[in-house]
């Protein structure tokens, strides 16, 4: 038989164990949403830091305050606010130290995940009362399973609500710290207040809780999904405007080639006359210089553009062709050496055209931003095969890149840059199980390879 002291100690240990699993779940989902990959040891240290910090700060250092607020003041609103805000502060601190330094994203995303966790916990906890009383060890043992189920459900909801894409869009906005803090606290307390509104005299199953939980979850999903759909419509409108502008540039460049051909044809007779006179007088060196000048002028004004136009003619998707033409125009304006190869006609692949355009745009933008300062070179290879499409972008980098760092959120090879592009790229790729993404860096050449399989 276990003594009462041993039972109490086991009960306390189980409480901390359940809480630790809950912290693991929240940080795991945070990593998934932000596409952060850290070592198991670092993740374990982050969990340990979070649990110890909470115990030390609020159960030892501020124990009298905690005791008074939770048990003596008899104020539900103050108690719920204190529990949620203290847990939120410790989570934000731990995530900042071990997962992500972007404090704005940290504040808003942690508030969403914590609110989601507390509400799911409240719902699952209600059903546990049907099986066991809240003061028993069996209740806590079932709580371990409950904490694991909540983490899995959080991850499922985060995917369905497109939290990763919403956070990327949020990151582009320049909200003030004050507004973000206010929004975060409102998100946390909105869910906490739901628990206060539900009448609850003792620990037992209550149908009112089930109904309110169902309604709030449904409302939250509909609201977030509506916001996401509005965001997608805005992105598609912007995308259509960009495509229209790029097509106009493409037509303009074709007209420039035609105009240059007319000018070249107009000067052709004069150049031939000059060559004839110089050859008749025996000025062979001058003839050679004139011919070389003609070739160089043709290369600069016509031949290079015609070569690119020939490569682009292999791309049958007008949106992709327009995007590439826009990027090529930017490349020439920035005096970057560029080589393009499109092997075989590009046709429809098992990926949405808008996502293919976004992938190409991100790869090209990253490469252009890296090499534009030193006017170095970059290469784009597009290889369409029967069962796959391969896209390879290669560019010069000043410093060798540690490939292991690329999967970290915010990674970039450029100074004063947020690294949103690479994260957006991974977000798109994760939507498709048939896409392979390989990255390598050797001899100051940064290479990204995307393979889209069609079978």
Confidence of residue 412 (pLDDT cuts 50, 70, 90): low
Mean pLDDT for the chain overall: 77
Tell how strand 337-343 and strand 377-384 pair up. parallel
Contacts of residue 408, Cβ cutoff 8 Å, sequence gap at least 6: 36, 37, 38
3-class DSSP assignment, residue 28:
helix
Q: Who has greater pLDDT, 34 or 319? A: 34
Taking only the tens place, the pLDDT of each residue in 312-328 is 777 877 778 878 877 88
Single out the residue of 151, 160, 81 nearest to residue 120, CA to CA.
Answer: 151
- Residue 81: both structure tokens together: 């606010």
- For residue 97, the model assigns a pLDDT of 93
Q: d(Cα 261, Cα 306) in Å, to the nearest integer?
A: 11
Q: Residue 392 above 90 pLDDT?
A: yes
- For residue 394, the model assigns a pLDDT of 92
* Cα–Cα separations (whole angstroms), residue 268 to 261, 276, 284: 10, 12, 19
- For residue 49, the model assigns a pLDDT of 94
Question: For 353-366, what is the mean pLDDT?
Answer: 88
- For residue 96, the model assigns a pLDDT of 93
Q: State what percent of residues in the chain have pLDDT above 70.
A: 69
Confidence of residue 440 (pLDDT cuts 50, 70, 90): confident
Confidence of residue 417 (pLDDT cuts 50, 70, 90): very low
DSSP 405: G
Q: d(Cα 28, Cα 156) in Å, to the nearest integer?
A: 12
Question: For 355-365, what is the mean pLDDT?
Answer: 89
Question: For 416-435, what is the mean pLDDT?
Answer: 73
- For residue 172, the model assigns a pLDDT of 74
Q: Residue 228 above 60 pLDDT?
A: yes
Q: Residue 24 above 90 pLDDT?
A: yes
Most confident region among 94-108, 202-216, 387-401, 403-417 by mean pLDDT: 94-108
Q: Who has greater pLDDT, 144 or 332? A: 144
Question: For 240-252, what is the mean pLDDT?
Answer: 64
Most confident region among 286-300, 390-404, 414-428 by mean pLDDT: 390-404
- For residue 449, the model assigns a pLDDT of 93
Taking only the tens place, the pLDDT of each residue in 152-193 is 999 988 888 788 878 877 877 778 899 899 888 888 877 666
Question: For 229-238, what is the mean pLDDT?
Answer: 69
Confidence of residue 418 (pLDDT cuts 50, 70, 90): very low
* Cα–Cα separations (whole angstroms), residue 96 to 30, 106, 180, 406, 433: 12, 7, 16, 19, 31
- For residue 419, the model assigns a pLDDT of 47
**Half-sphere exposure for 393 (CA within 13 Å, toward CB):** 18
Q: Who has greater pLDDT, 73 or 249? A: 73
Q: d(Cα 299, Cα 317) in Å, to the nearest integer?
A: 27
- For residue 192, the model assigns a pLDDT of 64
- For residue 374, the model assigns a pLDDT of 73
Q: Residue 416 above 60 pLDDT?
A: no
Single out the residue of 352, 262, 260, 267 nearest to residue 306, CA to CA.
Answer: 260
Mean pLDDT lowest among 3-17, 37-51, 420-434:
3-17
Taking only the tens place, the pLDDT of each residue in 253-278 is 666 656 655 655 555 555 555 555 55
Q: Who has greater pLDDT, 210 or 166? A: 166
Q: Who has greater pLDDT, 13 or 297? A: 13
């Amino acid at each position: 038989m276990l003594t009462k002291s041993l039972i109490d100690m086991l009960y306390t240990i189980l409480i901390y164990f359940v809480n630790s699993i809950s912290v693991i779940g929240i940080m795991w989902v945070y990593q998934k949403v932000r596409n952060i990959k850290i070592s198991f040891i670092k993740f374990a240290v982050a969990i340990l830091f979070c649990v110890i910090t909470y115990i030390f700060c609020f159960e030892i250092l501020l124990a009298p305050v905690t005791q008074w607020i939770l048990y003596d003041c008899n104020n539900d609103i103050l108690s719920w606010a204190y529990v949620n805000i203290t847990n939120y502060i410790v989570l934000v601190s731990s995530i900042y130290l071990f997962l992500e330094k972007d404090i704005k994203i940290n504040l808003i995303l942690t508030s969403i995940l914590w609110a989601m966790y507390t509400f799911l916990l409240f719902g699952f906890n209600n059903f546990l009362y049907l099986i066991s009383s809240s003061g028993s060890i069996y209740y806590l043992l079932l709580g371990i399973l409950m904490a694991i189920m909540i983490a899995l459900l959080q991850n499922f909801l985060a995917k369905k609500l497109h939290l990763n894409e919403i956070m990327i869009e949020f990151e582009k906005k320049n909200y003030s710290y004050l507004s973000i803090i206010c929004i975060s606290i409102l998100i946390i307390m909105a869910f906490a207040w739901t628990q206060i509104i539900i009448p609850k005299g003792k620990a037992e199953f209550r149908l009112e809780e089930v109904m309110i939980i169902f309604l709030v979850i449904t409302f939250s999903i509909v609201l977030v999904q509506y916001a996401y759909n509005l965001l997608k419509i805005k992105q598609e409108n912007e995308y259509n405007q960009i495509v229209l502008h790029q097509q106009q540039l493409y037509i303009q460049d074709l007209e420039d080639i035609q105009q240059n051909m007319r000018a070249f044809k107009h000067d052709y007779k004069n150049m031939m006359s000059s060559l004839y006179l110089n050859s008749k007088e025996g000025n062979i060196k001058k003839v050679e210089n004139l011919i070389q000048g003609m070739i160089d002028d043709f290369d600069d004004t016509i031949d290079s553009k015609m070569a690119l136009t020939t490569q682009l003619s292999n791309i049958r998707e007008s949106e992709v062709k327009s995007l590439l033409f826009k990027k090529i125009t930017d490349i020439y304006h920035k005096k970057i050496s560029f080589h393009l190869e499109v092997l075989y006609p590009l046709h429809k692949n098992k990926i949405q055209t808008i996502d293919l355009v976004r992938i190409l745009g991100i790869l090209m933008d990253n490469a252009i931003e890296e090499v534009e300062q030193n006017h170095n070179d970059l290469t784009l290879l597009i290889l369409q095969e029967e069962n796959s499409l391969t896209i390879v972008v290669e560019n010069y980098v000043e410093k060798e890149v540690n490939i292991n760092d690329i999967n970290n959120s915010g990674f970039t090879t450029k100074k004063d840059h947020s690294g949103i592009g690479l994260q957006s790229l991974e977000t798109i790729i994760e939507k498709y199980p048939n896409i392979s993404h390989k990255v390598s860096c050797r001899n100051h050449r940064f290479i990204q390879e995307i393979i889209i399989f069609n079978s």
